[in-house]
């Protein structure tokens, strides 16, 4: 029998998250991650979804249709819907790799699925999605025509949602091509699902302005921006730095595959950019650090870091150079990120001329009622 969860108050929004503080305690124990029916205080149906009495997000809405059943057919329908959006935009040029499911943005809260040719990687953010993984995998294979699937969950998500996810051992190495650049994707690297698909359109845009330029890619990971600038963009010289030795090793593999000649260095960004020889040296600097906070109490610390690293990036640019300042911290608003960049420009003694702000590519949609899925902010600016 499907358990019933009721609201503790009359307040119910269009957002797919219902926090535990807004829910009445069930009369009987409901296992974390259970499919449940949400009702108002009077017993009227509101939604179907995943319930978790342990988590801050107590209920994740999956459907508001009273006749819906959260089964194999449900996931098949959701995957077809998600695929339909991608097909609408990629009728002629289907990419080797794409995000099929972007959690709330594709009405599947707690689930992310990236597809790399015939291999799919699932990332779980909720106990409910993890517990239904076998059903989800079966539906995925029916719809997306993938031959193998691996999955994982970050430790923070597992603790918050109280589930124990041991990552699958069948991690794949898949070679993909994007905008004429070859990348070897190692799905077990645990940096998202192995490759930053969200920056696809921004990498292409970078390649269009890189010809003949001297480019620095900070936090290069597997060399996405660096190789796009050199191979697709024909930059004169490109340097990629990262503190993570595993990331530099992955970038070097991609560098060799493309015979690109990118200079790759394991280095701390603060020490590298603070060297006298780094000042006023580059035509383009990409500052794309990993997520700096997943905790609301640390937003101010993250903003301080964004200011510090972008101040150094601006000082490394020649007058008139281009800065790509990125933030993938969903808790950091665009407004606050821009304020951090404004402070960085003041501290650097430079003028920041912003001419465009972009985000993730079209396979990372977000709901109007759940803007948390719009996490990536990419500021394109000229530094004067």
Helices 334-348 and 299-316 meet at what angle, rounded to 10? 40
Section 189-205 average pLDDT: 88
pLDDT-above-70 percentage for the chain:
98
Strands (E), the chain: 4-6, 17-19, 34-39, 45-51, 57-63, 97-102, 111-116, 119-124, 148-152, 173-178, 181-186, 214-218, 237-242, 263-266, 282-287, 317-327, 352-358, 377-383
Question: How far apart, in whole angstroms, are the C-alpha atoms of residue 181 and residue 260?
Answer: 10
The mean-pLDDT minimum among 41-55, 130-144, 168-182, 360-374 falls in: 168-182
Question: Domain spanning 72-161: which CATH class is it, in words?
Answer: alpha beta
Residue 319 binned pLDDT confidence (cut-offs 50, 70, 90): very high
Quick one: pLDDT at residue 300? 96
CATH 3.40.50.150 domain residues, the chain: 192-383
Residue 119 pairs in a beta bridge with 116, 148
Residue 191 binned pLDDT confidence (cut-offs 50, 70, 90): low
Residue 298 burial (C-beta neighbours within 10 Å; 0-12, 13-18, 19+):
middle
Section 360-374 average pLDDT: 93
Section 129-136 average pLDDT: 98
Residue 372 binned pLDDT confidence (cut-offs 50, 70, 90): confident
Question: Domain spanning 192-383: which CATH class is it, in words?
Answer: alpha beta
Residue (of 217, 177, 223) closest to 196 by Cα position? 223
Model confidence at 169: pLDDT above 70: no
The mean-pLDDT minimum among 175-184, 189-198, 319-328 falls in: 189-198
| 23 in Cβ contact with 59 (< 8 Å) | yes
Residues of the chain by 3-state class (helix, strand, coil), percent to 5: 35, 30, 35
CATH 3.30.750.80 domain residues, the chain: 72-161
| 140 in Cβ contact with 118 (< 8 Å) | no
Model confidence at 179: pLDDT above 90: yes
Strands 282-287, 97-102: pairing is unpaired
Residue 189 binned pLDDT confidence (cut-offs 50, 70, 90): low
CB atoms within 10 A of CB 283: 19
Q: Would the pTM count as exceeding 0.85?
A: yes
Quick one: pLDDT at residue 190? 59
Six-digit token string for 279? 């000042």
Quick one: pLDDT at residue 129? 98
Quick one: pLDDT at residue 294? 82
Residue 183 binned pLDDT confidence (cut-offs 50, 70, 90): very high
**What DSSP character marks residue 367?**
B
CATH 2.30.130.10 domain residues, the chain: 4-63
Residue 91 binned pLDDT confidence (cut-offs 50, 70, 90): confident
pLDDT digits (tens, 9 = 90+) for 336-357: 999 999 999 999 999 999 999 9
Residue 172 binned pLDDT confidence (cut-offs 50, 70, 90): confident
| 204 in Cβ contact with 254 (< 8 Å) | no
Six-digit token string for 101? 């499911």
Residue 93 binned pLDDT confidence (cut-offs 50, 70, 90): confident
pLDDT digits (tens, 9 = 90+) for 268-283: 999 999 999 999 999 9
Question: How far apart, in whole angstroms, are the C-alpha atoms of residue 384 and residue 382?
Answer: 6
Residue (of 328, 318, 53, 58) closest to 192 by Cα position? 328
Q: Which superfamily is assigned to 4-63 in CATH?
A: PUA domain (2.30.130.10)
Quick one: pLDDT at residue 10? 82
Computed over every residue of the chain, the mean pLDDT equals: 95
Model confidence at 59: pLDDT above 90: yes
């Amino acid at each position: 029998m499907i358990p019933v969860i009721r609201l503790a108050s009359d307040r119910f929004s269009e957002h797919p998250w219902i926090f535990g503080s807004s829910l009445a305690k069930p009369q009987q124990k409901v296992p974390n991650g259970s499919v449940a029916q949400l009702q108002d205080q009077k017993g009227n149906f509101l939604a179907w979804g995943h319930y978790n009495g342990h988590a801050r997000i107590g209920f994740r809405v999956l459907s508001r249709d009273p006749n819906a059943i959260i089964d194999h057919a449900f996931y098949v329908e959701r995957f077809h819907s998600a695929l339909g959006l991608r097909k609408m935009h990629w009728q002629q040029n289907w990419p080797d790799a794409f995000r099929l499911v972007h959690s709330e943005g594709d009405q599947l809260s707690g689930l992310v699925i990236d597809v790399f040719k015939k291999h799919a990687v699932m990332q779980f953010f909720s106990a409910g999605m993890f517990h239904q993984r076998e059903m989800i995998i079966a539906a995925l294979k029916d719809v997306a025509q993938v031959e193998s699937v691996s999955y994982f969950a970050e430790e923070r998500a597992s603790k918050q949602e109280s589930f124990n996810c041991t990552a699958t051992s069948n991690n794949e190495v898949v070679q993909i091509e994007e905008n004429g650049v070859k990348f070897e994707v190692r799905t077990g690297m645990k940096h998202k699902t192995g490759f930053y698909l969200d920056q696809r359109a921004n990498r292409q845009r970078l390649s269009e302005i890189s010809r003949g330029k001297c480019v620095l890619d900070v936090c290069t990971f597997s060399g996405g921006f660096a190789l796009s600038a050199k191979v697709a963009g024909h930059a004169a010289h490109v340097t990629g730095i990262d503190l993570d030795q595993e990331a530099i090793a992955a970038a070097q593999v991609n560098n060799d595959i493309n015979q690109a000649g990118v200079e790759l260095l394991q280095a701390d960004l603060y020490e590298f950019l603070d060297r006298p020889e780094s000042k006023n040296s580059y035509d383009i600097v990409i500052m794309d650090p990993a997520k700096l906070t997943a905790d609301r109490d640390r937003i101010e610390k993250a903003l301080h870091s964004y200011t510090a690293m972008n101040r150094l990036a601006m000082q490394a640019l020649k007058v008139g150079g281009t800065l790509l300042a990125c933030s993938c911290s969903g808790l950091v608003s665009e407004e606050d990120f821009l304020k951090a960049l404004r402070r960085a420009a003041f501290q650097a003694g430079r003028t920041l001329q912003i001419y465009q702000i972009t985000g993730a590519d079209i396979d990372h949609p977000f709901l109007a009622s759940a803007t948390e899925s719009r996490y990536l902010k990419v500021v394109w600016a000229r530094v004067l």
